[in-house]
Each structure stands twice: as C-alpha cells, then as structure tokens.
Amino acid sequence: MGAVWTRFFPIMKMIESLKGDHGIGDIRAIHSAFSFRVPGTIKNHRLLNTHLAGGGLLDTGIYNFHFANACLGKISVKTVGLASIGTDEHHIEVDEQACYIAMYDQGELVSMSSGVRTNMQDTARIYGTKGYIEIPVFWKPTEMTVVIDGKEERQELRVLQRIGGIEDEGYQYEIAHVNDCLRKGLRESPVVTWEESLSVIKQCDELRGRWGLKYPFE
C-alpha cells in the first residue's frame, strides 16, 4: 500500500460517517486535484525523469484514486483520460499534467487531475444527493466543510503529533496501522487490500498505455 497515508487520517472516518441519509446522502460524484510545479531547471529531478518513472500520475495521481475508493468503499470499473506530455517549454517526456475520469458500478463519476508542472488547488469535493463535503489539501486531510440541505458546518481534526511513540506530520497514522497488522500476524491490510492496490496501478498502466507513455526500462 506504499505511502498512501491519506487513507489513515482520522478525518477519513468522519467522511465515512457522513454518508447516507444522516449526512450528504448517496455519493454521486467526486472531484479532486493534486498537482504542483517542479522547476524546469531541475533536469535530474525524479519526477521529470523517465528512467525513474517520472510524471504526475504515479506520484500525485494515485492519491486521487485511493481517496475516491475510500470515499465510495469500492474500486472503479472504467477509467478514461488525457495527458500533456512533452508540451511545455522544456519538452519533458512525462505526464506534465493529466485529467481523467473513473466510473463506478452505480454510475458514480470521479473527475481527477494530477501533475508535476502545474500548480493546482489540492481540494476535493464529494457530492451527495443531499449535500457535499469540501476538503482542502485532501491528500493530508485535517479539515473539511460539510454542507447538508444548504446548512454549512466546518470541522477540523488536527494531526496528533505523537502516536505509539511515532511523531510526524501524518505518516504516524499509517505506521501505527502497519505495526498493528504486524503484531496480529496479518499479511494484508484490511484498509488497503492487495486487490485495491493492484486495481490502482492497473488503472495507471491502462491510462499510460493510452497516452503512449512508456518508460525506458519497460
């Protein structure tokens, strides 16, 4: 499950509790973006290097997929998208920026953006049949605005600085979960399963295939 720390922030459980009739209703759509601009002068930066699997999709894009899967409680059935490759002034042959849409089995749609050459607002919105949730910097979520039937409420859950002897800006939640799995003798996380991890990377591979983005070592 790599370093997908987003899944383990306490606010994710709050989002889960806001689904259904007592909250925002049934989730019908999600929008998220995670993109920043790496300076073009950093030629050997790993995110701009095809020999190091550079580009936005495999770095920031996976957070979009994992966030959507966590909110909907399932994996998507189809993904389509477009990417800008070699189009900026430095002609870097990675996905500089990309937009893609995933569809889920009940018609839920998730529109996502990622990139390494474009600064975007890293905000996610979860749209339900009765309202929506807005989360700034969704990939390390600590606050959200909830709107239900037109009524707005702001909530915040600051990161606990120390958990089980581990101090960090948020990774400690996932580290504590991994430690708990190891103590219980589990080989698979019940939060991020093997099936889901494989599903996310398969979607990324399919998108890259359509974009013609192939790394030299493949």
pLDDT of residue 164: 64
Question: Rounded to an integer, what distance in angstroms lies between the CA atom of residue 135 and that of residue 125?
Answer: 6
Count of CB atoms situated within 10 Å of the CB of 165: 9
Count of CB atoms situated within 10 Å of the CB of 18: 22
Share of the chain above pLDDT 90, in %: 83
**Do the beta carbons of residue 18 and residue 62 sit within 8 Å?**
no
Instruction: Identify the H or E element spanning 15.
Output: helix 11-17
pLDDT digits (tens, 9 = 90+) for 161-183: 666 666 677 888 999 899 999 99
**Do the beta carbons of residue 122 and residue 138 sit within 8 Å?**
yes
DSSP secondary structure string for all residues of 85-147: ES-STT--SSEEEEEEEEE-TTS-EEEEEEESBS----EEEEEESSEEEEEETTTS--EEEEE
Q: What is residue 154's DSSP assignment?
A: E
pLDDT of residue 9: 94
Q: Which amino acid is it at 20?
A: G
pLDDT digits (tens, 9 = 90+) for 109-168: 999 999 999 999 999 999 999 999 999 999 999 999 999 999 999 988 887 666 666 667
HSE of 65, CA atoms in CB hemisphere, 13 A: 29
